[in-house]
């Protein structure tokens, strides 16, 4: 069994490698090659943490097989300088069923989430989009900045965060590798003014994106709110958008961003245009006009983690990265 920490994941799974893996995972999901239930979520009243368990089988060729993601959401970790998402992804050997790799979940989640947003951006944003607004300044903000740079030529970047000091840290980090300067702004409308690419990566439960602040023709990747009682976008913002999702089933059950405007009567049952995978498979045209505002609402799928897990395990084995823990063939044989 291969043990892979965050450093090992970063070493073998850069954004440019993750993007095509995630595009294929989304095609497989919407193409019927993925078996996964809705995630099981534990939220004890006596504990503010959230635990989620996500089993999955990804079929087809390539990075495929059985796997499991077990993750904790610990929002107070941010104040400790730690990831708010912590846990593991386990992938299983196809021949024996033995655990083949145990992988750091925080780093894998950061990369795969942004990589899927890059896939959505490439499929749905205008080809000339490059004025980027990033809301939030944490791990996902960093990975999304890398992801957007991988699929579009950025010409302007603005960052807003409730804590300006964190936004300045993101700006300083970006200055070490990004050719475009990053500007820290004081408000969400300041960040969104004229932006044709938007990534919302906050940990808020209350919406921060008003509809009137979105520029015509923008593409929005909304990734920060992944629970039914959390929202980043005001209802009028969702109503203005052509909405695309990772999974229709997940969106209908888990997305506060989409469920609240539906309950308020601002959107209808057909407001979700398609799954991202359906666009990639050519079953839906995606954007239908230059001035249309497109929204990719990301909730995250186990299929994304499991496909990433198999890719990371394969790449790490080829590179000799990680720690090998002998399992012993005799342990796989029943007495």
32-42: pLDDT as tens digits: 999 999 989 99
* Strand (E) or helix (H) holding 160: strand 156-160
Q: Which of 58-67, 168-177, 189-198, 319-328 has the lowest mean pLDDT?
A: 319-328
Q: Does pLDDT of 84 surpass 60?
A: yes
| Segments making up each domain of the chain, as ranges | 2-109+302-332, 114-297
Q: How far apart are CA 225 and CA 206, in angstroms?
A: 9
CA dihedral (52, 53, 55, 61) positive or negative:
positive
**270's tokens:** 């057909």
Determine how many CB atoms are found less than 10 A away from the CB of residue 47.
Answer: 9
For 315, residues 6+ apart whose C-beta sits below 8 A from its C-beta are: 12, 13, 17, 321
Q: Does pLDDT of 335 surpass 70?
A: no
> What mean pLDDT is predicted for residues 261-289?
96
Mean pLDDT (the chain, rounded): 94
The pLDDT of residue 1: 93
Q: Does pLDDT of 329 surpass 80?
A: no
> What mean pLDDT is predicted for residues 24-33?
98
Between 230 and 334, the higher pLDDT residue? 230
Q: What is the 3-state secondary structure (H, E, C) of 87-103?
A: EEEEEECCCCCCEEEEE
Predicted TM-score (pTM) of the model is 0.94
The pLDDT of residue 330: 44
Q: Does pLDDT of 31 surpass 90?
A: yes
DSSP letter at 83 equals: -
Q: Does pLDDT of 209 surpass 80?
A: yes
Among residues 210, 201, 271, which one has the least CA distance to residue 230?
A: 201
The pLDDT of residue 328: 59
Per DSSP, the three-state class of 178 is coil
Work out the pLDDT band at 73, boundaries 50, 70, 90: confident
Q: How far apart are CA 255 and CA 230, in angstroms?
A: 8
Q: How far apart are CA 329 and CA 156, in angstroms?
A: 55
Work out the pLDDT band at 203, boundaries 50, 70, 90: confident
CATH code of the domain made up of 114-297: 3.40.50.720
Q: Architecture of domain 2-109+302-332 in CATH?
A: 2-Layer Sandwich (3.30)
Domains 2-109+302-332 and 114-297 fall in the same CATH topology? no
Q: Are 124 and 27 in contact (CB under 8 A)?
A: no
> What mean pLDDT is predicted for residues 26-55?
94
Q: Does pLDDT of 75 surpass 90?
A: no
């Amino acid at each position: 069994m291969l043990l892979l920490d965050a450093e090992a994941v970063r070493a073998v799974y850069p954004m440019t490698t993750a993007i095509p893996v995630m595009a294929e995972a989304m095609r497989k999901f919407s193409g019927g090659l993925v078996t996964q239930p809705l995630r099981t979520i534990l939220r004890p009243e006596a504990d503010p943490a959230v635990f989620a368990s996500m089993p999955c089988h990804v079929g087809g060729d390539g990075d495929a097989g059985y796997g499991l993601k077990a993750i904790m959401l610990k929002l107070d970790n941010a104040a400790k300088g730690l990831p708010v998402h912590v846990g593991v992804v386990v992938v299983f050997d196809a021949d024996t069923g033995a655990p083949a790799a145990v992988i750091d979940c925080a780093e894998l989640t950061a990369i795969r989430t942004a990589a899927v947003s890059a896939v959505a951006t490439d499929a749905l944003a205008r080809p000339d989009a490059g004025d980027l607004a990033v809301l939030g300044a944490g791990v996902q903000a960093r990975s999304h900045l890398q992801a957007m740079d991988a699929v579009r030529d950025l010409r302007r970047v603005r960052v807003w965060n409730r804590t300006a000091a964190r936004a300045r840290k993101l700006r300083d980090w970006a200055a070490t590798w990004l050719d475009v300067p990053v500007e820290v702004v004081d408000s969400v409308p300041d960040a969104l003014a004229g932006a044709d690419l938007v990534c919302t990566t906050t940990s808020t439960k209350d919406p921060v994106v008003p509809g009137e602040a979105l520029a015509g023709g923008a593409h929005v990747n909304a990734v920060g709110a992944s629970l039914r009682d959390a929202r980043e976008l005001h209802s009028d913002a969702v109503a203005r958008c052509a909405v695309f999702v990772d999974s229709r089933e997940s969106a209908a059950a888990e997305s506060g961003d989409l469920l609240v405007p539906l309950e308020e009567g601002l959107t209808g049952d057909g407001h979700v245009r398609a799954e991202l995978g359906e666009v990639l498979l050519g079953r839906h045209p995606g954007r239908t006009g230059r001035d249309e505002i497109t929204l990719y609402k990301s909730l995250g799928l186990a299929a994304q983690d499991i496909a990433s897990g198999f890719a990371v395990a394969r790449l790490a084995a080829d590179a000799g990265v990680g720690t090998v823990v002998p399992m012993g063939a005799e342990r796989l044989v029943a007495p």
